[in-house]
Chains A and B, each alone.
Chain A
């Protein structure tokens, strides 16, 4: 049972949410922990025990670290051990995933990164060590976030588990958010994936300039809708349970600058990298050059978040260069540039970046870039490209409009003045999305 499946929508979610609401407030964290374990077990029975062992090891490390009798060096050893254990998990399973060698535990990346952050926070005494094992299990293995985030921190998640109190309006708005995420994947991401696949095979057989541009744009949109869909589902479920978790995407297509793009795209991951890598390396404290190197390290890690592949690393470097330009070279000139131009330039830079991201190898990406900029002698367009694009143009337009957050703006507009109309429209919109998503799923 995947998150985007009929079984989850029709069986797991209603049963779990129903039981959760019926459960007394103090018992809800135990029910949530059981649901997390059950979900993980049915996803990957063979990886269940190793993952549980890893979580329990983190719990033990945190427990020992918070013991008062422990000296500084012992605490230092424990935190280093925990961090290296999690980095080793990321490296081993990341490499295994890249080489398609063996089974990779579901959600190992989000789990490991979350654990590293929490271990460091407890070590630095920025966050109290969680004593309750059920709460710790919920925090480490909260099932909706394991697929793609958001990466949550202990101080924002754990205090809410003491006695979560879901409300009716919160649950309804959480469910709407969940449906929105579900629809992003079932409708938009699926359609964009099939368009992207058609463009990829077109590029392999008879490339043309417009196909290369469309390929890069579609890959970016597909990735955005897939990841933000999963994160919306995670946030929506949490809201139904009376728990708040941060959003992971703030309409990155509206970014005015690459730095701004990074503050809207995969936000909690970039927040984690900023806090635990950039600042840990000293930020800009050791001068501009050191700061620039640190920015580049963070940008590279942002790329590697998507997998251990050279293309993702270069994607991060490419965008990192623009961040450095914005911060250090063009810092004074950029405020004078009209916002529209900034938007357009950002879209251009980001779309080009997804040509790098799309390739399986660097040479394939170089091939895409050469075609995009007319350096390969490929024609501007041809019949087959027009055919597949005409069939997908509407869905592409819907995706572009959805990525701009116009619906959210309309919602804000109605919020103050037309409360009833907003509630009615919101309900109808959710029902429509639900119906379409279910239809697409069985299609």
Chain B
């Protein structure tokens, strides 16, 4: 008995399992191309990526850790049916840098500038967070930033509007992003300040397009009881509009054009399903509509735009969205701020605290200085 179990154990764990794993690795990635230590780390990554039953193993670890009492794993709260990212406080000097960049922008261009900081789900869905857990107070961050910007830009409070409706489906359960409904409440707060008379929710036809969406948080923590997300699109019922959404991905690439706000084509496998909102993120996106308004809006923002921007398109004949993280210097140079009536900076609290992306607008100002474009 002992000999048989010894033989089987060694055969299984020292021969069969490694052989299967290596076949998987060779089938997908082949042998590492690098040499020396790099080859070892490449191979390590390949094994981790192509380990059979990887999803099940991850699920098992998440479950075991959850059962052992770890309701927060690597800064993600695991509640009964959803995952919530615990966004920590500011990193380094980013908040000051980003705020200063916006101040400099308003001073230099003198256009109507609006700033909306969008809270992350952990401060809105407080009932899903374990008792005693500490969550960074994003409200105090908003107050600090808005105090500094007072008089230079119009600051928009999205927190109150979202928090007042926190019993609703405002954020995805498996991705750190506001849902379309969350986007609607952001739109009502933002639209009010932009002076566009936001529509009522009853004026939209709500059409669910995907019932089983699992976002990147679920990939990281595949906890069984987390419910799949539903992706819905909101379409204005009463007034028909035609849209043209043009994505400028790179300097060399041909622009992508969609004639809808919700290109369902993006639901194809391999692409993040939330890209169905406006076709996802790009360095620059121009959204033209047949709206009977001659107003133009320039938005500097992040992925949260997928939630609120489709609503704002109702009120503008042109909205240009700029992702300062990916836009090239040349693309930024080509952007003429004076073509727009209003400029909106809309970032999630996480982007504003943990990255210097908003301060990337500095690049635009530096170009203006060198070219002498700016006139007071």
B120-133 CB mask vs A (1 if < 8 Å, else 0) is 00000000001111
Chain B residues contacting A73 (CB-CB under 8 Å) are none
- Which residues of B sit under 8 angstroms from A392, Cβ to Cβ? 69-70
Q: A423 near B10 (CB under 8 angstroms)?
A: no
A438: Cβ under 8 A from any B Cβ: yes
Q: Quick one: which of B9-44 are within 8 Å of A by CB?
A: 9-10, 12-15, 17-19, 21-22, 36-37, 40, 43-44
Given A7, A10, A439, which contacts B40 in the complex, CB threshold below 8 Å?
A7
Complex formed: what's the CA distance from A387 to B70 in Å?
A: 10
Question: In the complex, which residue of chain B has the Cβ closest to the Cβ of A43?
Answer: B37
Chain B hits for A426, CB < 8 A: 5
* Minimum Cβ distance to chain A for residue B3 (Å): 6
Q: Number of B residues whose C-beta is below 8 Å from A? A: 43
A11-B54 in contact given A423-B5, A431-B9, A434-B13 (Cβ < 8 Å): no
* Contact present for A168 and B58 (CB under 8 Å): no
A314 to chain B, nearest CB (A): 33
A380 contacts chain B at the CB level, 8 A cutoff: no
Contact B132 A386 (CB under 8 A): yes
The reply on B134 being an interface residue by CB < 8 A is: yes
Residues of A within 8 A of B51 (CB): 6, 438, 442
- Given A7-B47, A10-B21, the answer on whether A175 and B2 have CB atoms closer than 8 Å is no
Q: Which of B18, B43, B61, B133 contacts A439 (CB 8 A)?
A: B61
Count of A-B residue pairs with CB < 8 Å: 119
Query: Once the chains bind, are A10 and B18 in contact (CB under 8 Å)?
Result: yes
Do A175 and B10 form a contact, CB below 8 Å, given A10-B21, A168-B3?
A: yes
- Chain B, range 99-151, C-beta contacts under 8 Å to A: 130-134
Interface string of A300-322 (1 = CB under 8 A from B): 00000000000000000000000
Fill in one digit per residue for A430-443: 1 if any B CB lies within 8 Å of its CB, else 0. Answer: 11001110111111
Instruction: Choose, from A13-21, A55-63, A277-285, the stretch at the interface.
Output: A13-21
Contact residues in B for A386 (Cβ distance below 8 Å): 132
Chain A min CB distance to B35 (Å): 10
Chain B's closest residue to A421 (CB) is B1
B77 to chain A, nearest CB (A): 11
B247 at the interface (CB under 8 A from A): no
Q: B57 in the interface, Cβ–Cβ < 8 Å?
A: yes
> Which of A5, A383, A435 interacts with B132 by CB under 8 Å?
A383
Least CB distance, A245 to chain B, in whole angstroms: 20
Q: At the interface, yes or no: A172 with Cβ under 8 Å from chain B?
A: yes
Q: Let me know if A387 and B133 touch, CB within 8 A.
A: yes
**Which one, A10, A175, A420, A424, contacts B17 given CB within 8 A?**
A10
Which residues of chain A have C-beta atoms less than 8 A from B68's C-beta? Answer: 394-395
Chain B 39-80 against A: per-residue CB contact (8 Å), 1 yes, 0 no?
010011001100100100110111010001111100000000
| CB atoms of A11 and B1 under 8 A apart | no
CB within 8 Å for A169 and B130 given contacts A17-B14, A391-B69: no
Q: Is the CB of A18 within 8 A of B61?
A: no
Contact in complex: A384, B132 (CB < 8 Å): yes
Q: Report how far A111 CA is from B37 CA in the complex, Å.
A: 22
Tell me how far the C-beta of A379 lies from the nearest C-beta in chain B, rounded to whole angstroms.
15
List the A side residues contacting B69 at CB < 8 Å: 390-394
* B205–chain A nearest beta-carbon distance, Å: 42
B58 & A439 in contact (Cβ 8 Å cutoff): yes
Q: With A42-B36, A42-B37, A391-B69 known to touch, is A169 a contact of B58 (CB < 8 Å)?
A: no
CB-CB nearest in chain B for A395: B68
Q: When chains A and B are docked, how far (Å) is the Cα of A426 from the Cα of B1?
A: 12
Closest to A394 in B: B68
Interchain nearest-CB distance for A383 vs B (Å): 5
Contact indicator B40/A42 (Cβ below 8 Å): yes
B71 touches A420 (CB 8 A): no
- Selected A-B contacts with CB under 8 Å, 29 pairs: A1-B44, A5-B44, A6-B44, A6-B51, A7-B43, A7-B47, A9-B18, A17-B14, A42-B37, A171-B10, A175-B13, A175-B14, A387-B133, A390-B132, A391-B70, A393-B69, A420-B1, A420-B2, A423-B5, A424-B5, A431-B9, A435-B60, A436-B61, A436-B64, A438-B51, A439-B57, A440-B61, A442-B54, A443-B58
Q: Residues on B close to A: CB < 8 A?
A: 1-3, 5-10, 12-15, 17-19, 21-22, 36-37, 40, 43-44, 47-48, 51, 54, 57-58, 60-62, 64, 68-72, 130-134
Enumerate the 7 nearest inter-chain pairs by beta-carbon distance, A residue then B residue, closest first: A172-B6, A387-B132, A394-B68, A439-B57, A6-B47, A14-B18, A1-B40
Seed contacts A424-B1, A436-B61, A440-B61; 17 additional CB < 8 Å A-B pairs: A1-B44, A6-B47, A7-B40, A10-B18, A172-B9, A383-B134, A387-B134, A390-B132, A391-B71, A392-B70, A427-B5, A434-B13, A435-B57, A435-B60, A439-B60, A442-B58, A443-B61
